[in-house]
Amino acid sequence: MNRTLRTLLVAAAGVGVAVTGGALADGLVSAEPIVQQQQVDEIALALSNPGAHPRLGLPDFVMRPGDPTMAATAKTVADVLWDDLNFEREYYLIPRTTTAGIPVTPVAAIPYQQWADAGADVVLHGNAYPSGGNLVVELRLVSVRGAAPGAQYFGKKYQCGLQTARGPRDCAHQIADDFHWEVRRVQGVARTRIAFTSDRDAVRVGGRPNQSAAASKEIYIADYDGANQMRFTANRSINISPAWAPGGSLLAYTSYSTGFPDVYVANLAQPGRGLQRPAAGTEAIHNQLAAWSPDGSMLAFMSNRTGDQDIWVVNRDGTGLRNLTTFRGADEGSPTWSPDGTQLAFTSDRAGIPQLYTINLTGTGTRRITSERIDRPTWSSLNFIAFTIGSPGSEIGIWDFANPGVKVLTAGAGTSESPSVSPNGRHIAFFTTRWGRQEIAVMDRTGQNVRRLTTTGNNTYPNWQPIPGR
């Protein structure tokens, strides 16, 4: 009973996947622990390099020969799993090409000495076989060093649904997140996606004269690693600054599709249908840059309805509209919610240049955080604010409330703008001109390990999806 419940819970975490429990599902179908006699309860590794990350080798999965299609699928799962584990940097991942020469054997016959020679502390051994159209992967984390090579720290059996082309990748992402949680107690982000604006399919925007010269921009959605990039809006207008709702199934964005900017809320499951406009813009009232409250019940946005640009909040159904920043004669913009939902951060030029302020949701307690030129702040669930700092020549900076002070993460090459923090607070997506055009990139919170996600068109305003289903 307990195991069944757990299986259901893990399966329900899938990305927009209808889990039927049978062979017709996609992505991760089920996951159950493998219990072994020599299983080690305590995760204490014999490390070759104390203090550093354990080094992990990930060989090809063991498969019965004779099924090249399934073998290719298993290889995809292993490759994507390697990439996902490498992304969180909980382990030093030994490149799979380096260890390709080490024989792939059943778990009992792992050549420990060869893995130790390659520098591995542990090996994530996989055993894969087809089962009713699904691919079953048995994963075991095995020590290859120290007094007891062969000790098993982790063992779990996953069933991957392979209904669509996304299946193997989605399954590997979910395995990676489950593995990170089970072994390292780290909330992985491998199954999240990133929404962004791109002009890669640009057409000239018709209609209103003040925008007739502009090329269209649409919202796109990609996996966190840049795979499976797909177009989300298709209205041949300008659609910018997407914002995921908590739970990851609704997307708010600013669109000029009616000629003036307004905030739209779209459902990921049915793009283009059932659009809501909670901010109720008109020809005269322009609303932009929406941000969801942490519980998903409210939206904050920037609006000109009292003359200058102010921060307004509204309930998702369009009720409870009110102005938070009634300060006259200055423009406020780019709202973002604190993790507990009681405060917002925004930019205001009331002191001359746009600077970072916070305010209580009640409209009281306005406080200036920094005196630098700040744009596009985003308040992470780990209680730091990432933002664009400086202009021109802008960079990504963060303000950590636990350790106050501005820390600039990027430097030099091109400009870097508009950060969005991953749900676990360990990575930052942003757009940069360091490769010529505007491209989406992802880096660690430390500013290291920059990884490029897009290659075509100009891509801007990335927004990182919260953990789906939460």
Partner 1 sequence: MPKLDPIPSASGRGGGRRRTRSVRVSSSLAEINVVPLVDVMLVLLVIFMVAAPMMQQGYPVQLPESRQSRPIEAPVMVTIPLSFRQDQRVLIGSESVPFQFLAERARQAVDARSEKNVIIATDGGITMAEAIRVWDELRAAGITQVSVQTQPARGR
In the complex, least distance from residue 268 CB atom to partner 1, rounded to whole angstroms = 39
In the complex, least distance from residue 218 CB atom to partner 1, rounded to whole angstroms = 39
In the complex, least distance from residue 81 CB atom to partner 1, rounded to whole angstroms = 19
In the complex, least distance from residue 86 CB atom to partner 1, rounded to whole angstroms = 12
Decide: is 449 part of the binding site for partner 1 (CB under 8 A): no
In the complex, least distance from residue 116 CB atom to partner 1, rounded to whole angstroms = 9
In the complex, least distance from residue 250 CB atom to partner 1, rounded to whole angstroms = 40
* Of 95 and 150, CB closest to partner 1: 95
* Of 92 and 327, CB closest to partner 1: 92
Specify the stretch interacting with partner 1 by CB under 8 A; choose among 45-53, 226-234, 366-374, 377-385.
45-53
Contacts with partner 1, 179-218, as mask; x by CB under 8 A: ----------------------------------------
Q: Which of 11, 28, 45, 55 binds partner 1 (CB under 8 A)?
A: 55
Neighbours of 247 (CB within 10 A): 16
In the complex, least distance from residue 295 CB atom to partner 1, rounded to whole angstroms = 35
Q: Which of 9, 12, 24, 52 binds partner 1 (CB under 8 A)?
A: 52
User: Between residue 67 and residue 126, which ones bind partner 1 under the rule CB under 8 A?
Assistant: 92, 94-95, 98, 101, 117-119
208 Cα distance to chain centroid: 35
* Of 92 and 129, CB closest to partner 1: 92
Specify the stretch interacting with partner 1 by CB under 8 A; choose among 44-52, 227-235, 286-294, 449-457.
44-52
In the complex, least distance from residue 370 CB atom to partner 1, rounded to whole angstroms = 18
Size of the site for partner 1 (CB under 8 A): 12
* Of 82 and 357, CB closest to partner 1: 82
Specify the stretch interacting with partner 1 by CB under 8 A; choose among 16-24, 48-56, 249-257, 354-362.
48-56
Contact indicator for 182, 139 with CB cutoff of 8 Å? no
Note the residues at the interface with partner 1 (CB under 8 A). 48-49, 52, 55, 92, 94-95, 98, 101, 117-119
